[in-house]
C-alpha cells in the first residue's frame, strides 16, 4: 500500500484509482438487465450491490470532508500566488515605464500652454514610477484613475491628447488589459484561510480509504473471476473484465491471449 501524504486528500496511487474506475464500470454495467440477470444467477444480490457501492464511495474518498483536500496546501498556494504576482508586477512595471513618460511629454504638446504645467503637476502629484513590486500596483492604479478622469474632464486639448495616445496604443483595450492584471494581483493579496486539521485525523481518514480500496480490490478479483465463465467476449469487454485487443473472428469466445484483468494492485 502507498504511504499516506498528509498534503493530499487521496492516498491512492494512479494505478489504484484506475482499479476503482474498473470496479465502477463493472457495477454500472451490471445494471443492464441482461448482464444483471447473469450476475444474479452467480449469486450477485442486493447485499453484494450495497456492499460494493459503499466500498466505492469510501475508496474514492467521497466519505471524507472536502476540507481534507485543502489541508496542508497553504505553502503550495502561497508559492503559486507569489509566482503569478511577480509576473504581474513585471507587466505593470512595463506599462508604467512606457506610459508615464509618454503622457508627460505628449501633454506638453497637446494641452493649453498657459495651463499645461499646472495640469501636469496636478496629474503627477503623488504619482511616480515604482520598481516591479507591490508598490507598482498602487502607482498604475492611480495613473489609470487619473487618466480616465482627465479624458472625461473636457479640458482644452484633453480629447486630442487621448486620441493621440490611443493611436500609440493606450486605447480602451489596453486599459482593460491592465485593469484585469490589477484585479488579479489585488485578489492574490487577499488571504484565503486554509482549514487547520489535526494531521492525525487526516492520517486516520487516509488509512480508512486505503482499507476500503483493499477490500474493493478483493471484491473485484472475486467477482471478475466468478462472472467470466458466464459472459461472452463482448460482455466481458463491456464490463471491463478483460484488456487487450481482440484477436480472431469468434463472436462469443474470448481470445486465449486476452487476460482477465484481475491482477491485484497495491
pTM: 0.50
User: What average pLDDT does this structure show over 123-145?
Assistant: 89
The reported pLDDT for the residue numbered 72 is: 55
Exposure string of 221-239, with b = 16+ CB inside 10 Å and e = fewer, is bebbeebbeebebebbbeb
Q: Which three cell numbers stand for residue 44?
A: 450477485
High-pLDDT (> 90) share of the chain, %: 53
What's the pLDDT score for residue 101? Answer: 94
In this predicted structure, the answer to whether residue 56 has a pLDDT above a threshold of 50 is yes
What lies within 8 Å, CB to CB, of 51 at 6+ separation is 219
Report yes or no: 117 and 107 within 8 Å, Cβ to Cβ: no
C-alpha cell at 175: 486599459
Query: Is residue 233 predicted with pLDDT exceeding 80?
Result: yes
Q: Residue 50 has what pLDDT?
A: 95
The set of residues, in sequence order, having a beta carbon less than 8 Å from that of 185 and lying 6+ positions away, is: 84, 85, 88, 89, 92, 137
Domain ranges (residues) in the chain? 14-72+198-260, 74-188
> Is residue 85 very low, low, confident or very high in pLDDT (cuts 50, 70, 90)?
confident
Of 262, 263, 266, the residue nearest 236 (C-alpha): 262
In the chain, the DSSP E strands lie at 242-243, 259-260
Amino acid at each position: 500500500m502507498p504511504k499516506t501524504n498528509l498534503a493530499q486528500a487521496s492516498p491512492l496511487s494512479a494505478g489504484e484509482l484506475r482499479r476503482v474506475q474498473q470496479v465502477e464500470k463493472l457495477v454500472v454495467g451490471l445494471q443492464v438487465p441482461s448482464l444483471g440477470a447473469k450476475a444474479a444467477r452467480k449469486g450477485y444480490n442486493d447485499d453484494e450491490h450495497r456492499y460494493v457501492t459503499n466500498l466505492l464511495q469510501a475508496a474514492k474518498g467521497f466519505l471524507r470532508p472536502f476540507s481534507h483536500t485543502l489541508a496542508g496546501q497553504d505553502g503550495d498556494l502561497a508559492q503559486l500566488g507569489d509566482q503569478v504576482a511577480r509576473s504581474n508586477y513585471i507587466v505593470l512595471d512595463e506599462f508604467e515605464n512606457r506610459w508615464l513618460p509618454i503622457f508627460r511629454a505628449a501633454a506638453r504638446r497637446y494641452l493649453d500652454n498657459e495651463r499645461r504645467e499646472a495640469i501636469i503637476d496636478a496629474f503627477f502629484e503623488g504619482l511616480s514610477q515604482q520598481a516591479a513590486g507591490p508598490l507598482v500596483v498602487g502607482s498604475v492604479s492611480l495613473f489609470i484613475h487619473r487618466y480616465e478622469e482627465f479624458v472625461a474632464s473636457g479640458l482644452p486639448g484633453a480629447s486630442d491628447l487621448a486620441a493621440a495616445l490611443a493611436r500609440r496604443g493606450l486605447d480602451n483595450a489596453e486599459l482593460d488589459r491592465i485593469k484585469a492584471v490589477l484585479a488579479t494581483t489585488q485578489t492574490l493579496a487577499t488571504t484565503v484561510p486554509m482549514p487547520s486539521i489535526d494531521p492525525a485525523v487526516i492520517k486516520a481518514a487516509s488509512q480508512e480509504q486505503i482499507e476500503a480500496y483493499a477490500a474493493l480490490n478483493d471484491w473485484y478479483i472475486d467477482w471478475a473471476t466468478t462472472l467470466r465463465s458466464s459472459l461472452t467476449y463482448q460482455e466481458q469487454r463491456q464490463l471491463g473484465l478483460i484488456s487487450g485487443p481482440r484477436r480472431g473472428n469468434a463472436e462469443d469466445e474470448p481470445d486465449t491471449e486476452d487476460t482477465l484483468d484481475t491482477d491485484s494492485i497495491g
